[in-house]
Each structure stands twice: as C-alpha cells, then as structure tokens.
Amino acid sequence: MKAHLKSKHMNLQSAMEYLMTYGWAILIIAVVLGALFQLGVFNPMTFAPKAPPGACQVFRPNGPGTTQFINLEGVCSGEMPQYVAQFNGYTSLIPVSSLSPTIPQSSITISGWVYISGFTSSSGDPEWWTNGGGNSAVELQSFPNTYPGATSASITYSIHNATDAGYGGCGTSGNPPNRWYFVTEVVSGTVATLYVNGVSTSCSFSFSNPGTETYLTIGGYGPSFTTVMDGSLANIQIYNTSLSANDIMALYLEGIGGAPIDLQHLVGWWPLNGNANDYSGNGNNGQIIGNVIFVSNWWSGYTPP
C-alpha cells in the first residue's frame, strides 16, 4: 500500500514538474493558435481556389451596348474572388458617371454582396450604392437600429421618382453586423421590392412617375462624400429588366463569385475583385476616389450558400 501511494505521489510530482517546465510553452502555443484562427488561417476558405481579377467577363463581339452573340469568357465557375472592395466610411467612393445604356426606372434590378461592419456613433446612414438620373434615384443603405454599440442593422431601400416627389422606402431590421449579405433591389412598373440572401423580404412599396437611371455610385450617395458606407462590397450587377424571384435565388446560390445570369439585359458588372472595372462589356468602368482598399483576407462572416 505504501509503495502504491508513493508511486502515485511520484506521478503527481512528475506531472507538476512537467507543467511547470512546459506550461508556459503550451500557453504560448495556445495563444498563437488562437490568433491564427482569428486571422482565418485555419478557415477552409483560406485554401479554396480564388479567381484573379478579370478572370470572367462578358464578350460582346459587336461592341458595347449590343446584345447579339454575347457570351461569358474565362473562368466563370463561381470561384471566390481574390479581393473585395473595402470602404472606410468617410473618404472612399466609386462613381460610374454615365451608365450606358441608360435604364428606365420602371424596369431595373441591382444586386451585390454587402459586408456590414460594426457601428460607431458617427456611422450615420451609410449608402451602399445609389443610381439615378435627374431627380430620380434608387438607393440602398443600412443604418444601426441603435448606436453606439449597435448589435444589428436595418437594410433599407428607397426611391425618388422623376420629379423627386413621391419618395418611398422600406427595409428589414435585426441584421447582425460583421457578416456578408446578398442584397437585391427590383423595380417592376411602379413597385419596388427588396430581397436579402435570395429571398423576398415582403418589403415593397409603390410609387409613381418613374425616372431614368443614368449613373451609379458604389459605396455612397451621388458623386459626393455624403452618407458613404463603412464595410465591404463585391459583385455589383445592374440590369435593365426586372429579374424574377427564381433568377434572384439562382444568383444568390452562385455565391459571392457568381457570374451575371441575364446577359441580354446586363448593363454593368463590377466584381470589385482588385479594381473598379466593368466586366459587362459595356465599358462602364468606375473611378476610385479616396481610400478604397482591395483586401484579400475578406471571408470572415461569409458562409457559402
């Protein structure tokens, strides 16, 4: 019995000595592993194939604005992009000064992947994108339900008609920040509808006197640094038609690197994968203003559909 107790005591003593000798090393390794996990090193998407800038684009053999014999060229299998565009909330904007062809406000679809950052007391009501012409405008924005210290956001969609009258809008609430959302706005006739992650939010409103959309500003409102966003954007697409609910779900299921789904009605396509170029074949390239950063380690908060 005494020998058995002595053996247990020696084993316990050996274990304590081991911990005292190697405990700090084990703790340091644990801290390093935790930091690497937070940085996404162990995220399986870190090793997933990434599409380089311009890997997929629309080819229009008869030139911009034409629709005959158009097709996709390159690697268009929906690989995740190498980069997304990060906006700092104050001095970053990508305007497209003149959309060609122009878009009747009564038949328009605009979609994109949006990463909502956390909120501060100065977040304001950041615009993700706005497009319009004359007095008309189609806008998408988010704002914290409460701030500072907000834990969720509203995703809001609004329209100004051709005379800047009959303004209307609607949105969804309770959207947690620090994650990616696929957001789509569709206008059909005089009814506007909002979709989030491919699903209609049952948020729609009617307006009158539709205008014509002639410009697009990615990451802000109009051509100025007002109500600019704090977060990231990817894969902005705009069509001069009202896509169906099935089309929108199909776009969502393609994921953040998905190609356009209706080439005949595609006006502009800005993957924001390392640049602000338009890959629709219509030449609607954006102009980078201010501190737009194209980041490669972007996939925190992204869950493939």
pLDDT in tens, 131-162: 776 666 667 666 554 444 556 677 777 777 77
What is residue 60's predicted lDDT score, i.e. its pLDDT? 97
Percent helix, strand, coil in the chain, to 5, is 20, 40, 45
What is the DSSP annotation of 195-218? Answer: EETTEEEEEEEE-SS--EE-EEEE
**The whole model's pTM is what?**
0.82
What is residue 6's predicted lDDT score, i.e. its pLDDT? 47
Q: Measuring CA to CA, which residue among 210, 262, 214, 255 is closest to residue 239?
A: 262
Topology of domain 49-295, per CATH?
Answer: Jelly Rolls (2.60.120)
In order of 31, 77, 79, 186, the CA distances from 139 in angstroms are: 44, 30, 28, 11
Instruction: Give the count of beta carbons closer than 10 Å to the beta carbon of residue 62.
Output: 11
User: Distance between CA 94 and CA 82 in Å, rounded?
Assistant: 19
What is residue 180's predicted lDDT score, i.e. its pLDDT? 93
What is residue 79's predicted lDDT score, i.e. its pLDDT? 92
Percent of the chain residues topping a pLDDT of 90: 39
Find residue 238's DSSP bridge partners: 110, 268
Task: Give 169-191 pLDDT, tens digit per residue.
Answer: 777 877 888 889 999 989 898 88
What is residue 26's predicted lDDT score, i.e. its pLDDT? 60
What is residue 41's predicted lDDT score, i.e. its pLDDT? 52
Task: Give 211-240 pLDDT, tens digit per residue.
Answer: 888 888 888 765 555 556 778 999 999 999
Q: 284: exposed, middle or buried (C-beta count within 10 Å: 0-12, 13-18, 19+)?
A: buried
Peptide bond just before 104 cis, omega within 30 deg: no
What is residue 55's predicted lDDT score, i.e. its pLDDT? 96
Q: Name the stretches of the chain with pLDDT < 50.
A: 1-6, 8, 36-37, 120-124, 145-148
